[in-house]
Structure 1
Amino acid sequence: MASSEPRNWTPTTSLVGLMRKYSRILPLVGQWSSFSKSTRKSTVSDPTMRSAEIARNIQRGEVDESDIHDLIQGVVSRDGGRWPDEEVVMVLQSIFEHGLESENTGRLTLGMMQSGEILTWPEEWKHLVVDKHSTGGVGDKVSIPLAPALAACGLKVPMISGRGLGHTGGTLDKLESIPGFNVQLHTQSIQDQVAEIGFAMVGQTEDLVPADRRMYALRDVTGTVASLPLITSSIVSKKAAESLSALVLDVKHGRAAFMTEREDAMRLAEAMVSAATHCGIHTRAILTTMDLPLGSAIGNSIEIVESIETLRGNGPSDLEELVCAQGGALLEMVGVAEDFESGSIAILDSLHDGSALERFIEMAVAQGVDPSVFETEHMLIRSLGLLDPELNDTELKCDSEGYVLHIDALALALVALDLGAGRKKVTDTIDHAVGILVEVDIGESMTKGQTWVTIHHRDNLSDDLISRIQNALTIGDKKDPESRIDTWIG
């Protein structure tokens, strides 16, 4: 497939190079900124008694299929069988305190998936429908180049993503940096777009997995979020509602990950693979490290720029590695590629020949973006708000000589959060243009006074913020970069 890259969009060697190119015109135009519904009649008669019975069964390890069925009915029923919040919470707390066996976690996941609409696909290509999920990290923008690359390789990707909260960013927030981008499509629109273009990147609809929506809201206010079976069923039920043939789960561990300890990440990965398999999805999990930022950009608009650069074959090596690994695995899992290696090469080729970029632009336009946004580099940068005259950019210098040993992803992410790039609470508004651009790599030789990071911000940077940023860089003896991939499961 021929590249649709505009004539006036000249190649650049890196995101840093692109940002530096446009920094020259700042004095003129401004400064840089970025669950089929169950047909079985519910056995719920007295909600209070049944919920207490289920909670006791969980505590005793005596849960059966009818317990899971009645729990889901109690959560989503719209008639007299609907449980009040305190009854649902009673069961959630019992799961939180005593856990669930793997088989019952799978049953819970399947029941949640079946609580609402389920996406449907034509018989002729339903075996090509795939997706991925990441537990989140700093600078994690893998989904944005991966989905169009998969579509360019012939797969179908109904990617339903989420928003960011805390120090990890959300795919939807990044996409909404692009003016006009509509992430709220109805179920039929998602199905139509996947059929026509090959993929869609959207938020969860009201009709998909309503059981999870209510259960998560109650978990959030009752301190029962950090439960392995509840986390597993919440994540996998939403993916199962997409009617996938194959799924890759990117489970991160490290200082800046949701699961800081490798052992916890491994348990989560194994639980999700088991639950997804129970739902009939061919699933593999990849454990990846999250101590360093992924790529160079931390922040919404600048992560879109870095994603576009990756779609043009100019992406950072660690980001490209994960895109190709996850894409290659999915191509192999559905039989489009003979093996993992050839699948990874096909994904890489789509990034370098322009076909993945063409699909991304087609998808963005279909979801409301003016095509002129992608005509030139300048149009893209301006549209993303990175030339806003009220946006400041501050370069920080290395204060010693040596080699880059470590860049603290969590420290930088918390600074970006303070700048406005993320949400500390759900009701917060995001400033898409602010963020942090890391301009050095692990193992790179540094001289004193060399710029290592650029901050895009609104207000003046406090001494405390500057100190926190500078302390995120560790200089010492030479260290070679390491792969972000730890191991595969499934």
Structure 2
Amino acid sequence: MSFDAVDVIRTKRDGGSLSPEQIDWTVAAYTRGEIAEEQMAALAMAILLRGMSRAEVARWTEAMIRSGERMDWSRLDRPTTDKHSTGGVGDKITLPLAPTVAACGAAVPQLSGRGLGHTGGTLDKLESIPGWRASLSNEEMLGVLGKAGAVVCAAGSGLAPADRKLYALRDVTGTVESIPLIASSIMSKKIAEGTGALVLDVKAGSGAFMKNVDDARELARTMVDIGSDHGVHTVALLTAMETPLGLAVGNAVEVAESVEVLGGGGPADVVELTVALAREMLAAAGLTGAKDPAEALRDGSAMDAWRSMISAQGGDPDAALPVADETCQVAAPATGVLSRLDAYGVGVAAWRLGAGRARKEDPVSYAAGITLHAKPGDRVREGEPLLTLHADTADRFDRALEALDGAYEIGEAFTPSPLIIDRIA
């Protein structure tokens, strides 16, 4: 069945609902190049302004899944479960989480991405490990899952190609913020990935894509509904992103911190979120009687799974990580309690140090980043280190320091707020 692109645009522009047939045709025709970029841009803007019903979002997601391959893990002898984060600053959780869940009996096929702007990318972090490979064939992924129980790698070009094309268009037409398009973009890839259960970490705050809790909750609800409509057990945790997670922001520095967590230590907030998400993933996979993730971190089994996963993807878990040639310390301007440390400001500073990229094709520095010496609630003394900046060249420090201007405050008190805000199922 063929439709006219202008009629589809008018339907949504005027507040109407797109029929299943209109959606199927639109996604397929755009993927084939039969709908002009300017027409799809107009439709994306109409969707941004008019929204989509639950039925429309479910069908749009299904059409994007059908534009490419769907992975199959039925040959594995354990249930599959996965996690997706909407992105933040210092968000290294996938690194300790995947092997921890594997150590508790589930298989974790995790397709991850690269950083863009102030948010870091899991693949960039892992590529700081000498020899580690992000690009694997489906058979290689299956082999790593069979050996280590978890794999973290890049999505192949055959997975939801409609989403890849539409995402690039949204990025340059001011339509990235559309919740139906965000949700269908994320969920089309995750469902095509073939996992049996999915846990979403939807972040809210200055360092997140969604700045306020209401928008984050709407996005979480939309994605959970999509998962349920496609037969994938889906749960979402709403988590805070006003302050960076952990004490490290960057690539190699976040890997080092993740290894600390896998060794039974590490910052309390990273451990808390890792354990909470792991328990949700195991429950979603039906493994209610499995080993508790906190025990897997304590007894060394999560570390064993990490070493096996890294080795299976060509990495050397014992190799030294890259270290920056230059450092710059930011001292506390006064004595008192650190009452605010803005995630966005820290994220932009790390990006300007070289840890992130402005365009997808830009290289990153694996050694660049920021080490935090205090978190909100900690007492600091004037002149003592608050942050340490790491970069390959000293000329990057000035612009990073500009991003940190006003990003932290010293006061007399701090009222903590919960890391996990809500659970949506």
Instruction: Please give the range of the TM-score, normalised by the shorter of the 2 chains.
Output: over 0.9
1:70 pairs with 2:25? yes
Counterpart for residue 121 of structure 1: 73
Render the CA deviation track for 1:193-227: whole Å, top value 9, x for unaligned: 22332111011101111111111122223222221
Provide the C-alpha distance between the structure 2 equivalents of 1:438 and 1:89, rounded to a whole number of angstroms. Answer: 41
Q: Following superposition of structure 1 onto structure 2, how do residues 192-271 of structure 1 map, counting pairs within 5 Å?
A: 192-271=143-222
Of 36, 46, 54, 1:102 maps to 54
Render the CA deviation track for 1:211-254: whole Å, top value 9, x for unaligned: 11111122223222221111111000000012222111111111
Q: Which moved more, 1:100-109 or 1:217-226?
A: 217-226
Instruction: Please tell me the residue identity of whatever aligns with 1:185.
Output: L
Counterpart for residue 382 of structure 2: 448
Counterpart for residue 474 of structure 1: 409
Gaps of 5+ in 2: none
Counterpart for residue 487 of structure 1: 422
Post-superposition offset of 1:184: 0.9
Post-superposition offset of 1:465: 4.3
Provide the C-alpha distance between the structure 2 equivalents of 1:205 and 1:139, rounded to a whole number of angstroms. Answer: 26
Provide the C-alpha distance between the structure 2 equivalents of 1:76 and 1:467, rounded to a whole number of angstroms. Answer: 42
Q: Following superposition of structure 1 onto structure 2, how do residues 291-302 of structure 1 map, counting pairs within 5 Å?
A: 291-302=242-253
Post-superposition offset of 1:483: 2.7
SS at match of 1:298: strand
Render the CA deviation track for 1:377-415: whole Å, top value 9, x for unaligned: xx43xxx211x5xx1122232231111211122111111
Q: Which moved more, 1:440-449 or 1:328-337?
A: 440-449
1:362 pairs with 2:308? yes
Counterpart for residue 419 of structure 1: 353
Post-superposition offset of 1:267: 0.9
1:181 pairs with 2:135? no
Counterpart for residue 11 of structure 1: none
1:153 pairs with 2:104? yes
Instruction: Please tell me the residue identity of whatever aligns with 1:320.
Output: V
Post-superposition offset of 1:124: 6.7
Instruction: Please tell me the residue identity of whatever aligns with 1:424.
Output: A
Counterpart for residue 171 of structure 1: 122
Instruction: Please tell me the residue identity of whatever aligns with 2:357.
Output: R
Q: Following superposition of structure 1 onto structure 2, how do residues 285-364 of structure 1 map, counting pairs within 5 Å?
A: 285-338=236-289, 346-364=292-310
Render the CA deviation track for 1:102-158: whole Å, top value 9, x for unaligned: 1110111112112211111226746x2111111111100011100000111111111
Question: Does structure 2 retain, via aligned residues, the 8 Å contact 1:253–1:260?
Answer: yes
SS at match of 2:388: strand
Instruction: Please tell me the residue identity of whatever aligns with 1:360.
Output: W
Post-superposition offset of 1:302: 0.3
Question: Does structure 2 retain, via aligned residues, the 8 Å contact 1:255–1:290?
Answer: yes
Post-superposition offset of 1:296: 0.4
Q: Which moved more, 1:238-247 or 1:50-59?
A: 50-59
SS at match of 1:62: coil
Taking structure 1 as reference, are residues 351 and 210 closer, same or farther at Cα in structure 2, changes over 3 Å only?
Answer: same
Taking structure 1 as reference, are residues 271 and 401 closer, same or farther at Cα in structure 2, changes over 3 Å only?
Answer: same
Of 54, 58, 62, 2:12 maps to 58
Give the ranges of 4+ consecutive aligned residues of structure 1 lying more than 4 Å apart after TM superposition: 123-126, 460-465
SS at match of 2:355: coil
Counterpart for residue 394 of structure 2: 459
TM-score (norm 1): 0.82
Render the CA deviation track for 1:244-289: whole Å, top value 9, x for unaligned: 2211111111111101011111111111111111111111111111
Question: Does structure 1 retain, via aligned residues, the 8 Å contact 2:160–2:188?
Answer: yes
Instruction: Please tell me the residue identity of whatever aligns with 2:295.
Output: D
Compare CA radii of gyration and give the structure with the larger one: 1
Question: Does structure 2 retain, via aligned residues, the 8 Å contact 1:309–1:315?
Answer: yes
Post-superposition offset of 1:51: 1.6
Provide the C-alpha distance between the structure 1 equivalents of 2:12 and 2:127, rounded to a whole number of angstroms. Answer: 42
Taking structure 1 as reference, are residues 95 and 460 closer, same or farther at Cα in structure 2, changes over 3 Å only?
Answer: closer
Instruction: Please tell me the residue identity of whatever aligns with 1:312.
Output: G
Q: Following superposition of structure 1 onto structure 2, how do residues 395-414 of structure 1 map, counting pairs within 5 Å?
A: 395-414=329-348
Counterpart for residue 392 of structure 1: 326
Of 369, 377, 380, 1:435 maps to 369
Provide the C-alpha distance between the structure 2 equivalents of 1:335 and 1:219, rounded to a whole number of angstroms. Answer: 37
Taking structure 1 as reference, are residues 459 and 113 closer, same or farther at Cα in structure 2, changes over 3 Å only?
Answer: same
Post-superposition offset of 1:464: 6.2
Render the CA deviation track for 1:312-356: whole Å, top value 9, x for unaligned: 111100011111111101112222125xxxx7x711111121111
Instruction: Please tell me the residue identity of whatever aligns with 1:477.
Output: E
SS at match of 1:222: coil
Instruction: Please tell me the residue identity of whatever aligns with 1:161.
Output: S
Gaps of 5+ in 1: 1-42
Provide the C-alpha distance between the structure 1 equivalents of 2:221 and 2:277, rounded to a whole number of angstroms. Answer: 17
Instruction: Please tell me the residue identity of whatever aligns with 2:381.
Output: T
SS at match of 1:244: coil
Provide the C-alpha distance between the structure 1 equivalents of 2:173 and 2:330, rounded to a whole number of angstroms. Answer: 42
Number of corresponding residues:
423
SS at match of 1:165: coil
Provide the C-alpha distance between the structure 2 equivalents of 1:108 and 1:136, rounded to a whole number of angstroms. Answer: 23
Provide the C-alpha distance between the structure 1 equivalents of 2:399 and 2:190, rounded to a whole number of angstroms. Answer: 41
Provide the C-alpha distance between the structure 2 equivalents of 1:463 and 1:243, rounded to a whole number of angstroms. Answer: 45
Question: Does structure 1 retain, via aligned residues, the 8 Å contact 2:83–2:200?
Answer: yes
Taking structure 1 as reference, are residues 401 and 221 closer, same or farther at Cα in structure 2, changes over 3 Å only?
Answer: closer
Provide the C-alpha distance between the structure 2 equivalents of 1:398 and 1:86, rounded to a whole number of angstroms. Answer: 51
Cα root mean square deviation, aligned: 2.0
Instruction: Please tell me the residue identity of whatever aligns with 2:389.
Output: I
Provide the C-alpha distance between the structure 2 equivalents of 1:385 and 1:244, rounded to a whole number of angstroms. Answer: 33
